[in-house]
């Protein structure tokens, strides 16, 4: 057996138990302290807890000795022991395992401090602690409230600043929803506009795929929205007609957005956190009011912008119509002028031709002139005939160009019409520009010859002017082909090209690159309208200092 006598040297009472909870050793201090010890059972009943550091469900029915014997771990507590004479001892009891024995040490703390004083001081300290704790709690609550108010004011001011700086609906919604999203720790937030039988999502913070989805809600939710109340509830689906469930559910908060009594829409946000809506009701209502005001304002501005665009479009159409009317009047006046000029030219031209024929007969039958004189007169006569023919051809070309005596739309040979236009701009070409013709065999095209000739003339004259700005041999290449039922006319030059910064403007009404007093513009706005009238298109490819190619495409219509 293990020698336990060394415990007699302890200043505190020591009692050692076997694994069967039988006392196998008591040191001298234990014997002198507990003179009235008779049996373990009677000994246990004299103990009461003062402080116990081990919780137990049967704490009221067990003594400290019972608990320390039951405990498989080191145990310590403060307890009182009532002696047979009515005197109380206050003991600090702790136990530990020594080999296969449980050693229990009873330290007498009666003289060190009275338990009643300890309890009194403890209660006083606990009371003061609770007071300080409550004061601290109030202080932190006040501080938290102040911080929350500052945060709320910051959020409201931030949204107000965005609303003041922009009228863009998406920017305003983005700002407001982001703030709500962050404030409530949400994982999803969106805004739905009111429609006849429900709501339609128009902006979402987390999931853009939700945009344009139609949403329906439960009757109690709809009733709260009608009452202008912020509604909070747990849900498994975002809305009644949602196709999927929310994993593990979520807290859904719905904030109605009203302008007076008109419901504009709702803000819907989802969070996994447990929140009190009362803490955030004021700021959410404030955001709702600001958002309603901005939606109405943005809507009015959008309508105003639409009307302005419509008015601008109407104005542009009026300008284009005016230009077309002016152009039509010019062509009509030009036709009348050409008819008059042609008549006036034809009369003296006929006299010149008649006189030339007479001179030719005279010199043929004259015997008084020398051969040299006759040759000179013949040369002059031939020159006059050539000049007369050129004048006659120009007059015929002008009359054909204006076509005042022909139907507006008719079948025509586009290759011949391009040649006709080239004859009229011979003075622009002269000997400076070489024209390369890549004509294909074309079927008759049903079109307004007069109008198409205007288009060809505008593009060809612009090409001549572009080439004139470069010190190179001028080349204009004209190609005509038929592809997939469409006539395609390509006019390419090697001029200065069109600067990139104005390429998107050249079809604008009144746009020109020419100086004041030089011409009347590029004529491309009217040209585009003419091609569109023929259900076609006009495009171009241009590079500075390389040249420009215009591509005209019109359908070949089979009009009988």
Domain assignment present for 207: yes
60 and 186 housed in the same domain: no
Q: What is the DSSP letter of 110?
A: T
Domain assignment present for 51: yes
Domain assignment present for 386: yes
Contacts 24+ apart (CB under 8 A), 323-326: 323/509, 323/510, 323/525, 323/526, 324/526, 324/529
Q: Which of 221, 254, 275 is the last residue before a domain boundary?
A: 275
Domains held by the chain: number: 4
pLDDT on residue 402: 57
217 and 258 housed in the same domain: yes
pLDDT on residue 405: 47
Domain assignment present for 366: yes
396 and 439 housed in the same domain: no
pTM: 0.40
188 and 262 housed in the same domain: yes
**Domain span holding position 254:** 166-275
Report the chain's C-alpha Rg in angstroms.
Answer: 54
Domain with residue 459: its CATH number is 3.30.565.10
DSSP letters for 323-353: HHHHHHHHHHHHHHHHHHHHHHHHHHHHHHH
**Rounded CA separation 451/363 (Å):** 49
How many CB atoms are closer than 10 A to CB 75?
20
Domain with residue 205: its CATH number is 3.30.450.40
**Rounded CA separation 334/276 (Å):** 84
Q: What is the three-class DSSP state of 259? A: strand
Give the angle subtended at the CA of 501 by the CAs of 499 and 505, to the nearest 5°.
Answer: 95
pLDDT on residue 525: 84
Using left for φ > 0, alpha for ψ between -120 and 50, and beta otherwise, residue 212 falls in: left
DSSP H or E stretch at residue 433: strand 433-439
pLDDT on residue 232: 87
**Rounded CA separation 425/408 (Å):** 23
419 and 543 housed in the same domain: yes
326 and 254 housed in the same domain: no
Q: What is the distance, to the nearest Å, from the Cα of residue 418 to the centroid of all Cα atoms in its chain? A: 50
**Looking at the DSSP assignment, which residues form a beta bridge with residue 250?**
235
In contact, 256 and 228? CB cutoff 8 Å: yes
Q: What is the DSSP letter of 534?
A: T
In contact, 480 and 440? CB cutoff 8 Å: yes
Domain assignment present for 344: yes
511 and 426 housed in the same domain: yes
How many CB atoms are closer than 10 A to CB 471?
5
Q: Which of 389, 405, 421 is the last residue before a domain boundary?
A: 405
88 and 186 housed in the same domain: no
Domain with residue 395: its CATH number is 1.10.287
173 and 269 housed in the same domain: yes
Domain assignment present for 122: no
Q: What is the three-class DSSP state of 312? A: helix
DSSP letters for 169-230: HHHHHHHHHHHHHHHTTEEEEEEEEEETTEEEEEEESS-GGGTT-EE---HHHHHHHHTT--
Q: What is the three-class DSSP state of 148? A: helix
pLDDT on residue 517: 44
DSSP H or E stretch at residue 431: none
Domain assignment present for 483: yes
328 and 243 housed in the same domain: no
423 and 387 housed in the same domain: no
**Rounded CA separation 163/169 (Å):** 9
Domain assignment present for 266: yes
DSSP H or E stretch at residue 128: helix 115-165
Which phi and psi angles does 238 have, rounded to 5°? -65, -40
pLDDT along the chain (560 residues), means of 10: 84 92 92 89 85 51 85 88 86 89 90 67 84 84 67 67 71 81 85 87 82 88 87 86 86 89 89 78 80 77 82 75 57 52 62 67 67 72 70 63 60 91 83 92 89 90 90 92 94 93 85 56 80 92 94 81
Q: Which of 405, 427, 444 is the last residue before a domain boundary?
A: 405
Domain with residue 101: its CATH number is 3.30.450.20
pLDDT on residue 63: 87
419 and 541 housed in the same domain: yes
Q: What is the DSSP letter of 404?
A: T
């Amino acid at each position: 057996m293990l020698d336990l006598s060394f415990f007699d040297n302890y200043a505190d009472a020591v009692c050692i138990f076997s694994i069967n909870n039988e006392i196998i050793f008591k040191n001298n201090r234990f014997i002198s302290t507990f003179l009235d010890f008779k049996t373990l059972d009677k000994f246990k009943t004299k103990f009461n807890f003062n402080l116990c550091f081990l919780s137990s469900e049967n704490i009221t029915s067990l003594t400290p000795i019972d608990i320390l014997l039951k405990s498989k771990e080191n145990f310590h507590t403060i307890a009182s022991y009532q002696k047979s004479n009515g005197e109380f001892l206050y003991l600090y009891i702790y136990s530990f395992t020594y080999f296969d024995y449980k050693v229990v040490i009873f330290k007498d703390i009666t003289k060190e401090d009275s338990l009643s004083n300890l309890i009194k001081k403890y209660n006083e300290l606990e009371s003061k602690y609770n007071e300080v704790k409550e004061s601290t709690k109030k202080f932190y609550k006040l501080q938290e409230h102040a911080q929350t108010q500052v945060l709320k004011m910051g959020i409201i001011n931030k949204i107000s600043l965005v609303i003041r700086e922009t009228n863009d609906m998406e920017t305003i919604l983005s700002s407001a929803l982001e703030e709500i999203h962050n404030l409530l720790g949400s994982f999803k937030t969106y805004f739905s506009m009111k429609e006849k039988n429900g709501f339609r999502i128009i902006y979402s913070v987390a999931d853009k795929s939700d945009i344009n989805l139609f949403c329906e809600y439960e009757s109690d939710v709809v009733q709260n929205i009608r009452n202008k109340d912020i509604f909070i509830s747990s849900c498994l689906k975002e809305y009644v007609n949602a196709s999927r469930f929310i994993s593990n559910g979520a807290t859904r908060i719905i904030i109605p957005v009203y302008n007076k009594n008109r419901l504009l829409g709702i803000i819907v946000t989802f969070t996994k956190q447990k929140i009190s809506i009362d803490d955030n009701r004021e700021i959410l209502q404030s955001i709702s009011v600001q958002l309603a005001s901005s939606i109405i304002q943005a809507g009015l501005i959008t309508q105003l912008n639409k009307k302005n665009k419509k008015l601008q479009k109407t104005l542009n159409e009026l300008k284009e119509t005016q230009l077309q009317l002016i152009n039509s009047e010019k062509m009509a006046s030009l036709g009348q002028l050409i008819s008059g000029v042609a008549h006036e030219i034809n009369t003296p031209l006929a006299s010149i031709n008649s006189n030339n024929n007479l001179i030719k007969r005279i010199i043929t039958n004259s015997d008084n002139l020398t051969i040299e004189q006759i040759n000179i007169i013949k040369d002059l006569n031939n020159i006059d005939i050539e000049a007369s023919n050129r004048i006659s051809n120009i007059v015929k070309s002008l009359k054909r160009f204006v076509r005042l005596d022909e139907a507006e739309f008719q079948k025509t040979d586009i290759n011949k019409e391009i040649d006709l236009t080239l004859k009229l701009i011979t003075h622009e070409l002269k000997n400076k520009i070489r024209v390369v013709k890549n004509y294909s065999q074309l079927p008759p095209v049903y079109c307004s010859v007069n109008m198409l000739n205007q288009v060809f003339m505008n593009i060809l004259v612009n090409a001549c002017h572009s080439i004139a700005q470069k010190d190179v041999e001028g080349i204009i290449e004209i190609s005509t082909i038929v592809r997939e039922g469409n006539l395609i006319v390509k006019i390419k030059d090697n001029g200065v090209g069109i600067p990139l910064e104005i390429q998107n403007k050249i079809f604008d009404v009144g746009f020109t690159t020419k100086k004041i007093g030089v011409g009347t513009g590029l004529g491309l706005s009217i040209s585009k309208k003419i091609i569109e009238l023929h259900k076609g298109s006009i495009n171009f490819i241009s590079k500075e200092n390389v040249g420009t190619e215009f591509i005209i495409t019109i359908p070949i219509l089979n009009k009988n």
